[in-house]
Structure 1
Amino acid sequence: MNARCFVTALAAWIAVCAPLAAYGNDEEIDRVVTQGLDWLASRQQRLGHWTSQGRYPAAMTALSGLAMLCEGSTTTEGRYSENISRAVDYLISQSRPNGLIGDPLRDDRYTYGHGFSMLFLSQVLGEEEDAQRREELVDVLTRAVRFTAMAQTDAGGWGYVSAKDGNGFDEGSTTITQVQGLRSCRNAGIPVPKEVIDKAVKYIKDCTLRDGGVQYSSKGGGGRPAITAAAVACLFNAGEYDEDYVPRMLKYCEQHLGSGGQDNYGHWHYAHFYYSQVQYREAGDIWDSYRAATYAKLVREAKPVNLPDGKGVVWDQGYIGAVYTTSLNLIILQLDNAALPIYQR
C-alpha cells in the first residue's frame, strides 16, 4: 500500500470510529444510565411519587417510571421493580372519578401529568402479570381515555387543562402528550375512539406552517422547534407518514435541532426527548450520527453526586427541575434497549 492509499484508508477508519469515541463506549453509557436511575430512585417520595421542586407529581412520577421501564425493569422484576410498583400504585391512587389522573387542585397544568400517566401505565399494563392490578389498570386507563376525549377542544387539540376548564384554549405540547398517551393505550388494548385521534392529527396538520414548523397553538404563535419535533414523533406513533407534512416537518427539525447542537431556542431536553424518538425511527446513519452527538452532550453534562449507598449522576439544567431533565435524558440514552413498544421502531 502506498502512502496516499494508507492515508486515505486511515482517514476513512477515523471517520467511522470518531462518532463512537465522541460519546464513549457502551460501558460508560451504561454507567451513566445506572447512576442516573439510582439517583432517581433515591428521590422517590414515601407515597411512591416524584415531584419537581414540589410540583407536578403525576408528570414527574410517570416520566421517572418510564425511565426505569426503559432499563428493562417491570413491576415484579429487575433492579427498579419496587420503584416502578410504587409509582404505579401512586398514580392509580390519583385517578379521579371523572378519569383525570392527577390532582387539579395542586396542578394548574394537569393535562401534562394525565398524558404522561396514560403513557406510563399503559406500558406497564402490557407486561403486568398480577390479575388484580391488571383490572385496576384497565379501569383507570379506560376512564382516563374518556377524560381525554372529553377534554379535547373543538379545534382538536388540548390545553394545560380541559377544554371546559380552559375555555377552549389549546397548544401543541399538551396535545402531543395526549395523542402519545392515547396511542399507547390503544396498543395495550384500551378502546380509543378513532375520531379523537383523527381530530388530533388534523389539529397538528392545521398548525403546521409552510416551512414545516408547528406553531404554538391553533390560534397562532409561530413555529416552535420543540413542538415540531414532538409533533413528528406523535404522527409516527399514530402511523402517519403524510408525504406532504412529515418531510417538511423533518426538514424544519433538521434545520433547527441539527444533530444535537446547543440550546439556542429553549427547551433543549424536551425537544430532544421527542427528536431522539424521531431519529431512532429513522435508523441507519441518521440515528448513528445523531446518537453520537447527542450522547456526547448528555454524558458530558451528567453531574456526579454522592448517594447514601453509592454514586449517582443528575442533569440539573432547565427551569423545571432535575427530576424532569434527568428522566428525559435517561429515556433518550436507553432508546436502543427497545424495552417499551411505544419507543420501538
Structure 2
Amino acid sequence: MKNFFMLLRYSLAITAIVTAWSGLCSHVDAQLPNVRYGEVVPRDVREMYDRGLQYLATKQTAEGKWTGGYSGPGTTGMGVMVFLASGEDPNFGVYSTNLRKALRSIINSQNAQTGYFGNSMYHHGFAMLGLAEAYGAVDERNLWPAGAQNKRTIGQALELAVRSAITSQKNNPTGAWRYSPQANDADTSVSGAVLVGLLAARNAGIEVPDESIDKAINYYTNMTSDTGQVGYSGGFGGGFDESIARISIASLVYSVARRKDLPEFKATLGYLTARLEQTGSNHYQEYADYYEAQALFQGDIEAWEKWNKLLVRRLKAKQKKDGSFTGQFGPEVSTKMSLLALALNYRFLPIYER
C-alpha cells in the first residue's frame, strides 16, 4: 500500500477510496513521478531517506514534537512534510502514528482565537505548510483519540492559520512578514516561510485572496536586484549579497505563485543556475539546500538534475550512522531540512509539483 494515498491526493477523497477502486489506475498513472519525469528514485537516496526517517521517529516525543533549540510548531511541520514526502501511506503506513502525533502537536499549539501558532512567524509559516501538505491526505477520522472533545480538524486549523497570516500582512506596511505577527517591518526569509505556507494552503483549496499574494510578490520584487541578488530586510531593497538561501526563496515564490514572467524570477534563477557547482559552500547550509532544491526544480529541471547529483553525493558522505545530519540548526532540524532537500527525488508533496 506504499504511496497509495499520496498518489490520490486531490484526485479522490479518502472516504471514497473503496467505491472509486475501478477508476484508480487512471489516477495513479497521472500522478506517478516516474511516468511524469522518466526516472526512478535512486537507491542511495531511498536508503538515506529511510535511515533519516528512522532517526526522526526515534527522536519524536510522546507529544508529537521534536526537542532542541529550534523546537516548535514550525519544525514539527517540517517533520510532517518529511513523513509525507516519501509516499508512505499516511493513514496505515509504518510512520502513520508519528504523523498523527505531529499533526496533533501542531494543532494543539495554535491559539484558537487568533490562529497564530506561536514562537515566531517562522514557526507559523512552516506549521501552516505542514498542515496544507497533510490536508486531504490524512484521514481525520483517526487523527484524534476516541473521546477527544472540541478538537479542530486540519482544515479548520489551516483556515485559522491563513486568516492569522493575512491579518498580520494587512497590518504591516511592507505587505510582508517579520518575526512577530505585529511587526511593522519585514524580511525575505520569514516572509518566504509564510508565503510558501499560504501558497500551499491555496493549492490545497483554502481561500487565499489574490491581493495577499500580489502584495507579498511585490515585496519580493522590491527586494530583488537586477543581478538576481536578494536583500534581507526592509521594504525597498538594499543589503544585496550572495545569499543562496534568499535568492532561492525569491525564485521559489515567483515560481509557485506562477510569476515566472517576471524579470526578477529570471534574474534569481539565472543567478542560481550559473553557480550550480557551489553547492555545499553556503552559510546555514541545510536551510540553503532546502530552498535551492525547490527553486531549481521549479525553475529549471535540467539544472536541478545536475545540482541534485552533487547534493546526493555530499549528503551521502555527511549522514551519520544513526541516520542524522549535523548542522547549525542541530541534528533534528538539520536532518529534516536535508531530507526535504532530497525529497524532490520523490515528488509526492503537493508543494513539490511542477
Does 2:155 match 1:146?
no
**Aligned-partner residue type, residue 288 of structure 1:** E
Number of matched pairs: 302
Mapped partners of 2:349, 2:108: distance in 1: 24
**Aligned-partner residue type, residue 61 of structure 2:** Q
Question: Which of these residues, 269, 273, 297, is aligned with residue 254 of structure 1?
Answer: 273
Question: Which of these residues, 12, 18, 43, is aligned with residue 59 of structure 2?
Answer: 43
Question: How much does 1:207 deviate?
Answer: 0.5
TM-score if structure 1 supplies the norm length? 0.82
Write the deviation string for residues 60-83 of structure 1: whole angstroms up to 9, x where unpaired.
111111111101135413221110
Query: What is the match of residue 178 of structure 1?
Result: 194
Does 2:248 match 1:229?
yes
8 Å CA contact retained: 2:255, 2:299? no
- 1:88-107 matched pairs, under 5 angstroms: 88-103=103-118, 107=119
Question: How much does 1:206 deviate?
Answer: 0.6
Does 2:285 match 1:268?
yes
Does 2:72 match 1:57?
yes
Does 2:314 match 1:314?
no
Mapped partners of 2:217, 2:239: distance in 1: 19
**Aligned-partner residue type, residue 202 of structure 1:** N
Question: Which of these residues, 64, 68, 82, is aligned with residue 67 of structure 1?
Answer: 82
Greater Cα offset, 234-243 or 84-93: 234-243
- Gaps of at least 5 residues in structure 1 are 1-24, 306-312
Does 2:296 match 1:279?
yes
Moved segments of 4+, more than 6 Å: none
8 Å CA contact retained: 1:51, 1:61? no
- 1:1-345 matched pairs, under 5 angstroms: 26-53=42-69, 55-103=70-118, 107=119, 110-130=120-140, 136-152=153-169, 153-162=172-181, 164=182, 166=183, 168-219=184-235, 220-223=238-241, 224-255=243-274, 257-259=275-277, 261-263=279-281, 265-282=282-299, 284-305=301-322, 313-318=323-328, 320-345=329-354
Write the deviation string for residues 130-176 of structure 1: whole angstroms up to 9, x where unpaired.
358696112111111111011122111100111x2x3x121011101
Mapped partners of 2:203, 2:301: distance in 1: 26
TM-score if structure 2 supplies the norm length? 0.80
8 Å CA contact retained: 1:74, 1:124? no
- Gaps of at least 5 residues in structure 2 are 1-40, 144-150
Q: Percent identity among equivalent residues?
A: 26
SS in 1 for 2:287: helix
Question: How much does 1:330 deviate?
Answer: 0.7
Question: How much does 1:56 deviate?
Answer: 3.0
SS in 1 for 2:239: strand
SS in 1 for 2:138: coil
8 Å CA contact retained: 1:65, 1:84? yes
Write the deviation string for residues 26-73 of structure 1: whole angstroms up to 9, x where unpaired.
2222111101110011110111111333x4311211111111110113
SS in 2 for 1:334: helix
Aligned Cα RMSD in Å?
Answer: 2.0
8 Å CA contact retained: 1:260, 1:294? no
Mapped partners of 1:117, 1:322: distance in 2: 19
Mapped partners of 1:186, 1:47: distance in 2: 29
Identify if the C-alpha distance between structure 1 residues 123 and 169 changes in structure 2 by more than 3 Å, giving closer, same or farther.
Answer: same
Q: More strand per residue: 1 or 2?
A: 1
Mapped partners of 2:65, 2:185: distance in 1: 29
